[in-house]
Amino acid sequence: MSTPSSTPDTGGTPSDPPYDRARRRELILRVAVPLVILVAVLLLWDWYVRAYDVKPYILPGPGLVASTLVKDWGTLSSALVVTVRITFTALFLAVVGGSLLAILMTQSKIFELALFPYAVILQVTPIVAIAPLIIIYAPSTQSAVLLCAFIVTFFPILSNTVAGLKSVDHNLLNLFELYGASRWQTLFLLKIPAAQPYFFAGLRIGGGLALIAAVVAEFAAGSAGAGSGLAFRILESQYRLNISRLFAGLIMLSATGVVIYWLASLVSYLALRRWHESALNREN
Amino acid sequence: MSSSANTATADTLPTSPTVVRLAGVNKTFSNGTLALSGLDLDVHEGEFLSLLGPSGCGKSTALRIIAGLGQPSSGSIEWPRTMHDATGSPERSIGFVFQEPTLMPWADVFHNVWLPLRLKGQSKASVRASVMEALDLVGLASFAKAYPRELSGGMKMRVSIARALVTRPQLLLMDEPFAALDEITRFKLNNDILRLKAQLGWTVVFVTHSVYESVYLSSRIVVMAARPGRVVRTVTVDGPTVRDEDFRTSDTYNATCRTVSEALHSAMGAGDHL
């Protein structure tokens, strides 16, 4: 921080030993508590499978799932790459499309009146129900899956960004008007920066939804073969009663979801950390 | 010294040139509220004019009309000493300080103060000195890189004042700028405003609902009443040019406060006290 040393005292600074110690304890707790829960659940699971002699095609033990994850890594990871590629492409298109459309809608009342109801309709119609149609019309299965994921991801980013662009401090708008700001200046210097926290909230929701939608669309498409994603591998495992591989696939999906959420949160934190309440450590 | 707090009507008042003249200005809001009724007001160069009155008396509305934020429903605003552009609208040189600091939270102090110049297309490098000078005038030069959330309420307000003065406006409009601050900070900022006014030769129109603040700062006080918003009396403050804590405890100050308070009370009907 390049803030002058005479900044009003906001409590401890990172160099204070008590603050440091408190933060380390906080960090340890943050890691240790979930870890203890995880180990406890794994032990319980393992005990249950052994004690009641559960067959692996009903519920495999954690050890078997782990070894399957290693053994089938080749198949599973290439499937994961397909799913992740679709997820991120959909998310990228949704971010670009959603925020551009949000800007368009807030710049022109006509655009908003014309487009917003249809964006809502697209959002509230379950994607699983639209997917069969999309699969018929789309040139390839991959593009159908991508389109489904895009439709689902697009809306939270659009509606959050619209809300952000509209919730600019009225006094600041007056100030810009007073100094004769052009439409573009008001957009770039005021509305877009003010919409950032809303946009990032939308990104976090959209990131998670993109993965879910990619999996759901893949289920609906039921695509097979070398180019298929993790969702197909999970279905396939179910048909073959290869439940340990199903579990391994699930674990990879959740891990991917967590990473996406974490990435979105990181981007949001980096963008807002200097000024927005959501990214600040509260102390009192 | 009770004679020093004399009262007068606007037309017998200061002879320095008029910066802006409001004549018969009415303002009716879309919900039918008559916010201003027949406001005549001349703002003279170099004066510190306060608009004083209860909530709903139209003092803020009048200020916003002067600023060009919203048009009067009827009546005229003239800028006798201001250039007019090709479309005939006056090229007002105005600084505006809102009741809230109204800073952009995502921008540091420097960028907030740079804003009015930036909107006029002036680059950061070309106005760095002006921005730093404005910050220096409010005593915040060392906080150029701080973000608004890192500042106290009084400091944020000083940034807001620096932003208003960075364009060196002909007219400074202040809309209850210190209403949300504690009394100690308010007194300090009152003194800052008086010092800056003396230093930079400002013309100020100041909206307040504090009798004491208006008397301390102003050379002329326009007392307004609500329902409908109108001017009930104009009071000239015969105080010294340099005002400090001595003035705040002087007879002149007390006598003027009494006069202004009486004007305010006589203007308010029994129902207005609710």
Span B62-76, pLDDT tens digits: 999 999 888 899 988
Closest CA in chain B for residue A196? B106
Distance from CA of B87 to the nearest CA of A (A): 14
Going by their DSSP bridges, the two strands B34-44 and B48-52 should be labelled as unpaired
Distance of alpha carbon A97 from alpha carbon A95, whole angstroms: 6
Confidence at residue A122, expressed as pLDDT on a 0 to 100 scale: 84
Tell whether the torsion through CA atoms of A208, A214, A220 and A222 is positive or negative.
negative
Interchain pair A189, B119: CB under 8 A: yes
Interchain pair B145, A2: CB under 8 A: yes
Confidence at residue B252, expressed as pLDDT on a 0 to 100 scale: 86
Interchain pair A274, B106: CB under 8 A: yes
Confidence at residue A125, expressed as pLDDT on a 0 to 100 scale: 87
Which residues of chain A, if any, have pLDDT below 70? 1-17, 223-227, 280-284
Structure tokens at B6: 């004399």
Rounded CA Rg of chain B: 19
Confidence at residue A284, expressed as pLDDT on a 0 to 100 scale: 54
Confidence at residue A71, expressed as pLDDT on a 0 to 100 scale: 94
Which residues of chain B, if any, have pLDDT below 50? 1-12, 270-271, 273-274
Interchain pair A172, B104: CB under 8 A: yes
Q: How far is CA B107 from CA A9, A189, B149, in A?
A: 20, 10, 10
Interchain pair B116, A179: CB under 8 A: yes
Interchain pair B104, A3: CB under 8 A: no
**Percent of chain A clearing pLDDT 70 (strictly above):** 90
Give the DSSP H or E segment for B42.
Answer: strand B34-44
Choose the mutation target among B87, B111, B115 for the interface with A, i.e. most A CBs under 10 Å.
B115
Backbone φ and ψ of A205, nearest 5°: -70, -45
The domain made up of B2-10+18-93+170-273 has a fold known as Rossmann fold (3.40.50)
Distance from CA of B257 to the nearest CA of A (A): 32
Confidence at residue A281, expressed as pLDDT on a 0 to 100 scale: 64
Amino acid making up residue A134: I
Contacts of B149 in chain A (CB under 8 A): 275, 280
Contacts of A7 in chain B (CB under 8 A): 143, 146, 150
Interchain pair B69, A2: CB under 8 A: no
Q: Where are the domains positioned within chain B? A: 2-10+18-93+170-273, 97-169
Distance of alpha carbon A163 from alpha carbon A169, whole angstroms: 13
